Chains A and B, each alone.
Chain A
Amino acid sequence: MTASTSDELVLPAETTGSGSVVALTGVSRWYGNVVAVNDVTLTVGPGVTGLLGPNGAGKTTLLHMMAGFLDPSQGTVLVGGRPSWRNPDVYATLGLVTERESVPSYLTGWQFVHASAKLHRLADPAAAARAALATVELGDAQHRRIATYSKGMRQRARVAAALVHEPAVLLLDEPFNGMDPRQRMHMMDLLHRMAGEGRTILFSSHILEEVEQLSGTVQVMVAGRLAASGDYRHIRRLMTNRPHVFAIQSSNDRRLASVLMTDESVSGVELGANGLQVRANDFGAFTRGIAKIARTEGIRLTGVTPSDEALENVFSYLVAQ
């Protein structure tokens, strides 16, 4: 693998073809009696793929197995056709950004990324480090110690170190955690660009919107299993059409209940001591319409809370489909 001398990463020959494919076949991983990943078979190719699932679904375990940091209890994990476990050579074409925010804070951004380039034995480590830092837009802060960086800057430094050798495959575990919206946008742009160069980008997330904005293809994990796989729009449609439950408090709950029952977006209303439980079968129409209905009827809304938005519920619904 060679380093580019410009400030833009150049796609090396290895990033095309099977070198960028991550293939898992019948992969399971258990810790004693606890099964973290259960019989997962999937293939991830060039482009951006989101690994979606609630906390504890086994996403990190799966990524660690792909990255050669965990041995599968069963099944095979291949990166570019080679097993990743106990095979350091695989890192010539693989980059990893772990979830844990671990950076040697005593180094400057430059020292950190440059050391990474040297450890990859690149032909021109300084040029590669410059290009990687420019790619994540850390050029201005590169000579400051990482200890002084914000969370987003540290994350970008980690990404720069992971892509300094222009890997064909880049794995990122919850890369947007703790980032502000601007940093998030920037990171999304970067991942898109890299995917456009033919690289395989796989990132994990427990936030649906992140995956929606970034990725056309998703792998959904629930409780260690691969629950859904494929085009994001299909999965989004399933999610949009599912019934939503809202808890509503108002100045006149009984009257609001009777009005809501006439609305087509509502499939059921229950009047309780703490307000209303409303089941809406059209999330968009209901949330757009509720304020208007209340205003027309002269009712003051004091609380509208989606009560089943916990990701576990969303994912459970997906699995049931």
Chain B
Amino acid sequence: MNLTIAGMSLRALLGRRRALLLLPMPVLLIGLTLIARLTGAGIGDWGPVVFAQLGLGVILPLTALIVGSSVLGLEIEDGTITHILAKPLPRSEIILAKLAVAWAVTTVATAIPLAVAGVIAGSGALALGVGVGAAVGALAYSAAFLALSLLTRRPVGVGLLYILLWENLLVRFVGGAKVLSVREYSTVLARAISGSTALPAADLPTVAAVLLAAAFVVGGTALATSRLRSFALTGETS
């Protein structure tokens, strides 16, 4: 992996105000878990809301969207992308470095707080399950949103449509829609690893979820690389 690009991307990402958006969500997650735990209610009552709906359903995709669309998208927006592109580097190397950074940041901001919440809930298996589920989901989302930042000038808007309409609305009415839902993959994986009732029963076989997540990663990376190879500077036609 190209550590120079990864290092610069990390600095660019964490140096912006947008990075502050990542802070409240893990705090909210851990805070809610603490409150629920203190009330003495059974995990089956509040677990699905906190871990599945809030953690894997909202915090994970939103964080991945903020990070995944920024890691390359902001450089395209402000024009600094030309400094990286005007180098004799294979475009796949640039995309892989960007993907690694997006994945690492999203995982730190989601999988780790989720695992901490699992520990607070008193279940090591749940902590492992949601941690791994979120990390795998983070990778699939990151690849998809990275590709999106090269496909459209409004990756955040398009990404939100996917999260809200597809993953949260369409899947309720059309069963088959779950096949293309990253949220579903991470939930299935978390449930399979933890066996916890804090997560809803799975609709997809675990192997299918893993394979589909891998397809997202490979497809997103390939698409992003291909788009970057043909990256054209526009808007400056004087």
A interface list, Cβ under 8 A from B: 31, 36, 55-61, 64, 67, 69-71, 86, 88-92, 94-96, 98-100, 102-104, 106-107, 112, 115-116, 118-121, 161-162, 173
Contact = CB atoms under 8 A, between A and B. Distances in A.
Nearest to B15: A106
A55 B238 CA distance: 5
A173 B238 CA distance: 10
Contact of A58 (B79, B88, B234, B237): B237
10 closest residue pairs by CB, A with B: A102-B79, A69-B233, A119-B87, A100-B79, A92-B88, A106-B15, A118-B4, A91-B88, A102-B80, A60-B238
Contacts of A91: 86-88
B230 interface: yes
22 contacts: A31-B237, A36-B237, A56-B237, A64-B233, A69-B82, A69-B231, A71-B232, A86-B230, A88-B85, A88-B91, A91-B86, A95-B86, A99-B236, A99-B238, A100-B79, A100-B236, A102-B78, A102-B83, A104-B12, A106-B11, A115-B4, A116-B87
On chain B, which size bracket covers the interface? 20 to 34
Q: Is the interface of B mostly helix, strand, loop or mixed?
A: loop
Interface in B144-173: none
B31 interface: no
Interface in B21-35: none
B89 interface: yes
B204 interface: no
A175 to B, nearest CB: 14
A99 B236 CA distance: 8
Interface in B1-16: 2, 4-5, 8, 11-12, 15
Given A89-B88, A94-B86, A119-B5, A103 B233 contact: no
B4 A56 contact: no
Nearest to A29: B237
Interface of B: 2, 4-5, 8, 11-12, 15, 78-80, 82-91, 229-234, 236-238
B71 to A, nearest CB: 14
B78 A59 contact: no
A120 B83 CA distance: 11
A38 to B, nearest CB: 13
A162 B87 CA distance: 10
A314 to B, nearest CB: 17
A69 B86 CA distance: 9
A104 B87 contact: no
Contacts of B231: 69
Contacts of A36: 237
A119 B85 CA distance: 10
A72 to B, nearest CB: 11
By CB atoms of chain A within 10 A, which of B86, B89, B230 has the most?
B86
A307 to B, nearest CB: 24
Contacts of A120: 87-88
Given A88-B91, A102-B78, A118-B4, A67 B86 contact: yes
B238 A57 contact: yes
B101 to A, nearest CB: 14
Nearest to A173: B236
Contact of A96 (B15, B82, B91, B237): B82
